[in-house]
Amino acid sequence: MNVAWIILRCLLGVIGALLLLFFVSPIGKRKKQGFYGLAAYAYAHRGLHDISHGLPENSLRAFRLAAEFGYGAELDVHLSKDGRLVVMHDESLLRTAGVDKNISDCTAQELDALRLEGTDEKIPYLEEVLPIFEGRTPLVIEIKAFGKNHAALTQAVCQLLDRFPKLQFCIESFDPRVLLWLKKHRPEIVRGQLAANFLKERSGLSLPTAFLLTHLCMNALTLPHFVAYKYEDRSCLGAVVSRRVWGVQEFSWTLRTTRDVTQTKKNGALPIFELCHPET
């Protein structure tokens, strides 16, 4: 690593620390106790899935099983070409449905013809998943904005959620634009910033963007109620400042052993897990 790069990293670190210490609001302190009723649960990542037992991720069976075991669930929502709210992790359908197309390029009719990971399970819509959890356990709903559809997607999700008044939920996203929309239009909804160490794995982001998202610098504008940080990266400056200085509630993702789930709870974070069965 050359000297110029080291100096640049140091300068960015100093700037980020100042932003975090002086501009990030401690909004999370207001209701951390009990955290809006969400703190009593562990959250099954994309449902209680296990493809080795024929249970694909983000399938209705996986969500029903999570609710039956008393877990909350984390799920991802995309917008189809004709405006349907599709529950799927990837924008591309290649990995999970074997079709080299994006969800945003498909109609509901096209999506209904597909099946998940070689099983008989169809791709679900959000309106099919919400009744499974209403009045039972909470949902962590991730908005998967694609291109410039963040406002349309977030608005559509909120309008659907209005039809399920007994559902406990929060909304999270990697995209700060989603949180800004919620802050402006639906401030009563519990919102959270998803993050990881994007400096370690850039995922196509520019260096300044990776830095800002890694260290949660956009929190100064979005004022999230919680931060959902990748478990392996939780020692990053932004995550540390958020939980230790401002007391913002933290989710940790994605945990794959009961030991990590137990440690996460001891750390005061809420666990998002898969491929294990933690105590409820």
What pLDDT does 7 receive? 56
Rounded mean pLDDT, 27-34: 54
**What single-letter amino acid sits at 132?**
I
Full set of structural domains in the chain with CATH: 31-273 (3.20.20.190)
pTM score of the predicted model: 0.90
Q: Which pLDDT tens digit goes with each residue over 160-214?
A: 999 999 999 999 999 999 999 999 999 999 999 999 999 998 888 999 999 999 9
CA distance 46 to 255: 12
Question: Residue 28 — very low, low, confident or very high, per pLDDT cuts 50/70/90?
Answer: very low
Q: Is the pLDDT of residue 274 over 90?
A: yes
Give the mean model confidence (pLDDT) for residues 92-121. Answer: 97
Residue 250 has pLDDT above 70, yes or no: yes
Q: What is the DSSP string of the chain?
A: --HHHHHHHHHHHHHHHHHHHHHS--GGGGGTTTGGGTTT--EEETSS-BGGGTB-TT-HHHHHHHHHTT-EEEEEEEE-TTS-EEE-S-SBSHHHHS---BGGG--HHHHHT-BSTTSSPBPPBHHHHHHHHTTSS-EEEEE---TT-HHHHHHHHHHHHTT-TT--EEEEES-HHHHHHHHHH-TTS-EEEEE--TTTS-TT--HHHHHHHHTTTTHHHH--SEEEEEGGGTTSHHHHHHHHTS--EEEEEEE-SHHHHHHHHHTTPEEEE-SS----
Of 12-26, 66-80, 207-221, least confident by mean pLDDT is 12-26
| pLDDT value for 13 | 56
